[in-house]
Amino acid sequence: MGVGRTTADDARAAEARRASARSARPTLAVVGATGAVGTVLLEILSQRADVWGEIRLVASARSAGRKLTVRGEETEVVALGEEALEGVDVAMFDVPDDISARWAPIAAAKGAVVVDNSAAFRMDPDVPLVVPEVNAHAARVRPRGIVANPNCTTLSMIVAVGALHAEFGLSELVVASYQAVSGAGKAGVDALRAQLTAVAGTELGTQPGDVRRAVGDAMGPFPAPVALNVVPWAGSLMADGWSSEELKVRAEARKILGLPDLRVSATCVRVPVITTHSLSVHARFENEVTVERAHEILANAPGVVLCDSPADGEFPTPADAVGTDPTWVGRVRRSLDDPRALDLFVCGDNLRKGAALNTAQIAESVAAELTAP
């Protein structure tokens, strides 16, 4: 400290230096900052290299005036509206589909590059659907000024599947998901916690309907109790009995991998896990596979951690993977009946890589583009 200077002077000088450095950097809006994904996004923005100037926090009018912390600074939430989007260079949208459908094009028209986490634009041919480890190049071509972030179930497996595809050539995917309740937002988490309280310390789970009666009205966004249960349903009903979530896995895997004819069957199941989706994946390839080569590929793939030693009890579980960034892969086996097929088990935090982290990675690549000399 210089002679005569106080700690307060130093703090003010440091703040002024930070403000001046930030003024040259892109302005970021986080739309949906108060939600399940938004909350994790604020954590991630506080942990990663800081490439942003102003970070503006936006949510519904219900949350206007609330204070949230990002990069260690308290920031007031503003209500979504034209004014909240003025002067924004990159806007992350983590809001329901209808809100994104309405406001993302407005943000883009005002000059922002939008990275959208909803399903509103994922299948639009003029909107790239991006997973940086798999198809980073796609984010540079965005005719509508919007880049879409895939659905959390697809994202939780696609980094590992994409790495195997690059070597073996994927021809078919048959997957079953074990999806965490936070995939249904804060309402899903609140419902599971309330249901767990209702069944804790009881002998429930031995008679038909006993869990359902104990849970009563606390079903939340799920069609059946999720505590002490598994629910073979996620999303809304689509044609021929498929759920919207199952069709998203199919359509989005095809688009991200650039394989429009890929054969995909998914069964999406909700399980009593707070956060981290798991998938059992049966992947068939053009070429014969070996577990040894698959292990090598997965061990070297960016964003993937191989955890595959069942003899030592080592395989990924949601309770161990939650809060981490990578896609965890274990239980890698070659099909006993098909030398071109692998079976594997994958876990990925649906709020981090499954949503907020992927959004942050895409947004950072756009920021680098905007600030490139």
Q: Is 190 in the site for ligand NAP (CB under 6 A)?
A: no
Q: Applying CB under 6 A, which of residues 26, 42, 68, 94 lies at the interface with ligand NAP?
A: 94
SS (H, E, C) the chain: CCCCCCHHHHHHHHHHHHHHHHHCCCCEEEECCCCHHHHHHHHHHHHCCCCCCCEEEEECHHHCCCEEEECCEEEEEEECCCHHHCCCCEEEECCCHHHHHHHHHHHHHCCCEEEECCCCCCCCCCCCECCHHHHHHHHHCCCCCEEECCCHHHHHHHHHHHHHHHHHCEEEEEEEEEECHHHHHHHHHHHHHHHHHHHCCCCCCCCCCHHHHHHCCCCCCCCCCCCCCCECCCCCECHHHCEHHHHHHHHHHHHHHCCCCCEEEEEEEECCCCCCEEEEEEEEECCCCCHHHHHHHHHHCCCEEECCEHHHCECCCHHHHCCCCCEEEEEEEECCCCCCEEEEEEEECCCHHHHHHHHHHHHHHHHHHHHCC
* Spatial strand order in the sheet of 170-179: 263-270, 170-179, 277-285, 341-348, 327-334, 304-306
Q: Is 207 annotated as a binding residue?
A: no
Q: Name residue, tokens 């939008």.
A: 114
- Per the annotation, the verdict on 295 as an active-site residue is no
Closest to ligand NAP by CB, 42 or 306: 42
- Per the annotation, the verdict on 282 as an active-site residue is no
Q: Is 198 annotated as a binding residue?
A: no
Instruction: Provide, rounded to whole angstroms, the least separation between the CB of residue 35 and ligand NAP.
Output: 2
Instruction: Provide, rounded to whole angstroms, the least separation between the CB of residue 318 and ligand NAP.
Output: 13
User: Which entry of 165, 268, 277, 347 is annotated as an active-site residue?
Assistant: 277
User: Which entry of 152, 268, 307, 347 is annotated as an active-site residue?
Assistant: 152
Closest to ligand NAP by CB, 169 or 323: 323
Q: Is 305 in the site for ligand NAP (CB under 6 A)?
A: no
Span interacting with ligand NAP, options 2-10, 27-35, 84-92, 309-317, rule CB under 6 A:
27-35
Residues of this chain, 314-343, that bind ligand NAP according to CB under 6 A = none
Span interacting with ligand NAP, options 20-28, 89-97, 214-222, 323-331, rule CB under 6 A:
89-97
Nearest CA to 26 out of 284, 367, 256 is that of 367
Instruction: Provide, rounded to whole angstroms, the least separation between the CB of residue 315 and ligand NAP.
Output: 22
Residue 110: partners with Cβ closer than 8 Å, 6 or more residues away: 82, 85, 86, 88
Closest to ligand NAP by CB, 35 or 53: 35
Q: Is 179 annotated as a binding residue?
A: yes
Instruction: Provide, rounded to whole angstroms, the least separation between the CB of residue 65 and ligand NAP.
Output: 11
Instruction: Provide, rounded to whole angstroms, the least separation between the CB of residue 313 and ligand NAP.
Output: 28
Closest to ligand NAP by CB, 33 or 341: 33
Q: Applying CB under 6 A, which of residues 146, 152, 247, 307 lies at the interface with ligand NAP?
A: 152
| Number of residues lying near ligand NAP (CB under 6 A) | 29
Q: Applying CB under 6 A, which of residues 177, 195, 276, 350 lies at the interface with ligand NAP?
A: 350
Instruction: Provide, rounded to whole angstroms, the least separation between the CB of residue 126 and ligand NAP.
Output: 19
Upper half-sphere CA count for residue 94 (Cβ side, 13 Å): 33
Residues of this chain, 36-65, that bind ligand NAP according to CB under 6 A = 36-38, 59-60, 62-63
Binding mask 110-139 for ligand NAP (x = CB under 6 A): -------xx---------------------
Instruction: Provide, rounded to whole angstroms, the least separation between the CB of residue 99 and ligand NAP.
Output: 5
Residue 272, CA distances (Å) to 102, 180, 333 in order: 33, 7, 26
- CB distance 67 to 75 below 8 Å: yes
Q: Is 276 in the site for ligand NAP (CB under 6 A)?
A: no
Residue numbering of the annotated binding site for phosphate: 122
Residue numbering of the annotated binding site for substrate: 179, 270
Q: Provide the binding-site residues for ligand NAP, judged by CB under 6 A.
A: 32-38, 59-60, 62-63, 80, 94-97, 99, 117-118, 151-152, 182-183, 185-186, 350-351, 354-355
Active-site residue set = 152, 277
